[in-house]
Amino acid sequence: MTASSSAPERARVKLKPKANARALRHGFPWVYANELVADRRTRKLTPGSLAVLEDDGMTSMGLVAVNPESKIIARMLDTDPAAEINQDWFATRLRRALDLREQLYDAPYYRLVHAESDGLPGVVIDRFGDICVVQPNAAWAETHLEQLTAALQEVTGVATVLKNASGRARGLEGLDDVSAALHGTAPEAAVEVTMNGATYMADLTGGQKTGLFYDQRDNHAFAAKLVKPGAKVLDVFSHVGGFGLAMLAAGAAKATCVDGSAPALELARQGAVASGFEDRFTALQGDAFDVLTQLSDDGAQFDVVICDPPAFAPSKQTLEAGLRAYERIAKLAAPLVAPGGYLGLCSCSHAADLSRFRNASARGIGRGGRRSQLLHTGYAGADHPQLPQLAESGYLKAVFFRLD
């Protein structure tokens, strides 16, 4: 059974003359609303409908999914305008994604699908052993969720497939926020995930995003290299203890994890217990800016400080305010670093490119009264491949400084 009709029966949508057809031919995956001829027929298309995209010369460019309610009005699915979006089509893409992850990782804990970069626009899939958590963040993926789920079971053999409907992206597509079990039964307890020598607890039904941030795995590992025996470390915006637990596994004498979420800190504590680090773990719940200020007032010092906040600049409209927030975090964190210690600062805001984020971080360190060396720049791991034509796919940046 297929989820689409044959190409001759499909709607046809047309680019405006000034649209960048060349970029689309070279792999850019999106058509913005101001680039498409939005005639009455196009505006009446149901969100998630399939259509053949034509340039202004009526030449077919490929198969797109259309959502007239979104600023991204069309997403390129296949360069073949006659492609059938069915279980086999999904399985082909999932096998390609799985082959890469199985080559890179020795255990089935990773991001299996990174949206456009893996040929499934708007679709995120994280794998937790025998469970996959799917975020269908585009209307076309929601429409084809049955075929996607069947293909995911076929390719991976997982017993459980969960749908996570949280996040800003679904709202921009006009989608609901109702999560569900698509196949199998949701786990009643948090799932244990071992990375970088520590055990993390992932809440797959009530936690943030899909339950764990795999994208920081390589940056956790670099932070662990900065730890000397007996070091005191601080992990701010810690979620379930990502950096803190990795640094404890590397020999830190004490890790303090700071987060505004009590449930997240409880999962961090459970991870510390499961890892055998409970006696070296401390949690502080509160607003990160307030906690950093209080720690500074108390004269606290740490050998390594990491700040991994949520996206302060999720859009161009919030960029300047977001950069000021990143600068302020750096200013507050810098005085807490012992002389010769290390400060790691992270951003998951795609609107703030590396240069502007790095500059904001350096300004903040200077305003905090410290001088620094930039040691290392980190990105998301290889299970989060980037689509070269789409800057948004390389959203994560981490800059590590040594402070005098």
User: Rg of the Cα trace of the chain?
Assistant: 23
Q: How many CB atoms lie within 10 A of CB 152?
A: 25
Q: 30-32 and 372-378: which strand pairing?
A: unpaired
Q: Using N-to-C axis directions, what is the helix angle for 242-249 and 262-275, rounded to 10°? A: 20
CA distances from residue 267 to 193, 203, 221 in whole angstroms, order as listed: 12, 8, 20
Tokens of 391: 């800057």
Q: Which CATH class is domain 192-403?
A: alpha beta
Q: Percentage of residues in the chain with pLDDT exceeding 90?
A: 92
Q: Map tokens 């750096």 to a residue.
A: 330
Give the mean model confidence (pLDDT) for residues 93-113: 98
pLDDT, tens digit (0-9, with 9 covering 90-100), for 150-173: 999 999 999 999 999 998 889 989
* pLDDT for res 2: 42
Average pLDDT, rounded, for the chain: 95
| Among 6-10, 174-178, 211-215, the least confident range | 6-10
- Chosen CATH of 87-183 out of 3.30.750.80, 3.40.50.300, 1.10.260.40, 3.20.20.70: 3.30.750.80
Q: How many CB atoms lie within 10 A of CB 350?
A: 19
pLDDT, tens digit (0-9, with 9 covering 90-100), for 106-144: 999 999 999 999 999 999 999 999 999 999 999 999 999
* pLDDT for res 7: 43
* pLDDT for res 6: 42
Within 8 A by CB and 6+ apart from 241, the residues are: 198, 200, 235, 255, 257, 267, 268, 269, 271, 272, 281
Amino acid sitting at position 280: R
Domain boundaries, the chain: 7-78, 87-183, 192-403
Whose CA is closest to 347, among 307, 386, 381? 307
Q: DSSP secondary-structure letter at 247?
A: H
Give the mean model confidence (pLDDT) for residues 240-259: 98
Amino acid sitting at position 354: L
What is the tally of helices (H) and strands (E) in the chain? Answer: 12, 19
The answer on pLDDT for 3 being more than 60 is: no
CATH architecture of the domain formed by 7-78 = Roll (2.30)
pLDDT, tens digit (0-9, with 9 covering 90-100), for 388-400: 999 999 999 999 9
Give the mean model confidence (pLDDT) for residues 231-260: 98
* pLDDT for res 207: 74
| Among 12-16, 281-285, 313-317, 357-361, the least confident range | 313-317
Whole-model pTM: value is 0.94
Give the mean model confidence (pLDDT) for residues 36-56: 94
Element containing residue 274 per DSSP (H, E): helix 262-275
* pLDDT for res 150: 98
pLDDT, tens digit (0-9, with 9 covering 90-100), for 338-388: 999 999 999 999 999 999 999 999 999 999 999 999 999 999 999 999 999
Alpha-carbon torsion (112, 117, 121, 122), positive or negative: positive
